[in-house]
Structure 1
Amino acid sequence: KAMRSAGIDRPVAVDLGTGSGAIGLSIAVEVERAEVWITDASADALVVARSNLTGIGRAATRVQVAEGSWFEALPEDLVGAVDVIVSNPPYVALSDEVEDIVREWEPQSALFAGEDGLDDIRMILEDAPAWLRPGGVLILEMDPGQLETASELARSFGFVGIETHADLAGRDRALIVRRAS
């Protein structure tokens, strides 16, 4: 929705920490002409994402896969040129309980993000303005209990238009912010 409303002919989207690629690949399928970058620090995750890439047909030609931690995976020519950044980063606090099934299937690095669960979110909020074009959008998924603190962090890094979006269960789950124009 954010990309369609941008009114840009060839929008650039980045999915940081893509995991299986579901979000980034969905953007490639749904937003015709979008250039999509999917990144992850995990080579294993990118094997899965590349496998899923083969199932999206012609849209796959507009997807670039890059290995690396957050923005380090991206080429320098994207600085200031990205229209939308999306990420479902690790956001579980080290002290939080996680179901056994989740611990068994998810790598710890994909779950835990420091004492308050905001380490990766903080890093993304701090670095994203340099990569977004003026007016570009950053969308982050997180625990509903982190939204207030993350909103304050976003303001401190110069973001405007701060809003939240509910998940399918009706809980506010995503933070949506815009780089000032």
Structure 2
Amino acid sequence: MTISAWLIDATKQLKDIGIESNRLDAELILAHTLRKPRTYLHAHLDEEIDERRYDIANARLDLRLERTPLAYITGHKEFYGRSFSVTPSVLVPRPESEALIEWLLELTGDEITPKKLVDVGTGSGILGITAKLERPHLDVLLTDIDAKALTVATRNAEQLGASVHTRRDNLLDTQGYQAEYIVANLPYVDEAWNDVSPELQHEPQHALYASQGGLKLIYQLLPQLERWLTPGGIALLEADPTQHATIQDAAQSYGLNGIGSHDYALGLVRD
């Protein structure tokens, strides 16, 4: 089968089950299988796919038809212009998280004095690693309760050349020093929400869902922020915009005041 014929057939199958990015997904699967850039496909549409790679491409297509996230099939996902390794042990990086990074960069734009940042529940490490690469003056610690997630984060830091520290921790239970910045993308999906994507079934459920309207872990983090943020220190949390007011109200009990929202990012400052 030629590259063109495979792409046409794969695109149709993906479109038939409602995947909007059908052509893009087909191209990314085949390009990954052939170990070529997508532009190669466009220039070699009449080229025959050898039997071994044809079988591999079809097996990967079958995974996507089962709604396995594309990042788990290719093993990587781009975030803020960099390619991060991704496994089923961590959430797939999402564009919504880039709003938190952009806000952090605004807050730290004029700084030259070293400051500490803790990325709580780091997963693949996208927040803390990106922060370190964009703002080298930050002393960054990545924490996660899941050892497998920390392995992925460590690999990403090494591959991207980010000098960060890692520690297995349940939120900030063993935190031993105050930090000027704390960022966290904790589980915030309410188990009652029924409009979630089918792809979420393949992602680690403990990193997605939380009780108490999706806010259980965020509620647990708030008193820790009061203790481990420096006075005037800032926490940037990712949550659904519909949850921001509730989080902000709860935070006030711990001396944390809201400083606004940027899309999915909510900012809190310690008194």
- Which band: TM-score by shorter chain? 0.7 to 0.9
* 3-state secondary structure, aligned to 2:108: helix
The residue identity in structure 2 corresponding to 1:175 is: L
Q: How does 1:19-168 map to 2 (within 5 A)?
A: 19-57=123-161, 59-60=162-163, 63-74=164-175, 76=176, 78=177, 81-97=178-194, 98-104=196-202, 106-166=203-263
After TM superposition, give the deviation of residue 179 of structure 1 in Å: 0.4
Inter-partner Cα distance in structure 1 for 2:237 and 2:199? 24
* 3-state secondary structure, aligned to 1:71: coil
TM-score (norm 2): 0.58
After TM superposition, give the deviation of residue 156 of structure 1 in Å: 2.1
After TM superposition, give the deviation of residue 53 of structure 1 in Å: 0.8
Inter-partner Cα distance in structure 1 for 2:237 and 2:120? 10
Inter-partner Cα distance in structure 2 for 1:178 and 1:6? 18
The reply on whether 1:176 has 2:267 as its aligned counterpart is yes
CA distance change for structure 1 residues 22 and 30 in 2, over 3 Å: closer, same or farther? same
CA distance change for structure 1 residues 131 and 103 in 2, over 3 Å: closer, same or farther? same
* 3-state secondary structure, aligned to 1:90: coil
* 3-state secondary structure, aligned to 1:55: helix
After TM superposition, give the deviation of residue 33 of structure 1 in Å: 2.2
Cα shift readout 1:10-43 (whole Å, capped 9, x = no counterpart): 1100000000000000111111221100011111
* 3-state secondary structure, aligned to 2:189: coil
Larger radius of gyration: 2
Give the alignment's Cα RMSD to 1 decimal. Answer: 1.6
* 3-state secondary structure, aligned to 1:146: helix
Contact kept in structure 1, 2:248 and 2:258, CA below 8 Å: no
After TM superposition, give the deviation of residue 3 of structure 1 in Å: 5.1
Inter-partner Cα distance in structure 2 for 1:133 and 1:30? 22
Contact kept in structure 1, 2:248 and 2:257, CA below 8 Å: no
Q: Which residue of 1 aligns with 2:85?
A: none
Query: Equivalent pairs: percent with the same residue?
Result: 36
* 3-state secondary structure, aligned to 1:54: helix
* 3-state secondary structure, aligned to 2:221: helix
Larger helix percent: 2
CA distance change for structure 1 residues 161 and 92 in 2, over 3 Å: closer, same or farther? closer
Single out whichever of 151-160 and 126-135 deviates more from structure 2. 151-160
Q: Which residue of 2 aligns with 1:170?
A: none
Q: Which runs of 5+ in 1 are unaligned?
A: 167-172
Runs of 4+ in 1 over 3 A off after TM superposition: 5-8
Contact kept in structure 2, 1:151 and 1:162, CA below 8 Å: no
Q: Which runs of 5+ in 2 are unaligned?
A: 1-104
Cα shift readout 1:115-144 (whole Å, capped 9, x = no counterpart): 311101111112111001110000000011
TM-score (norm 1): 0.85
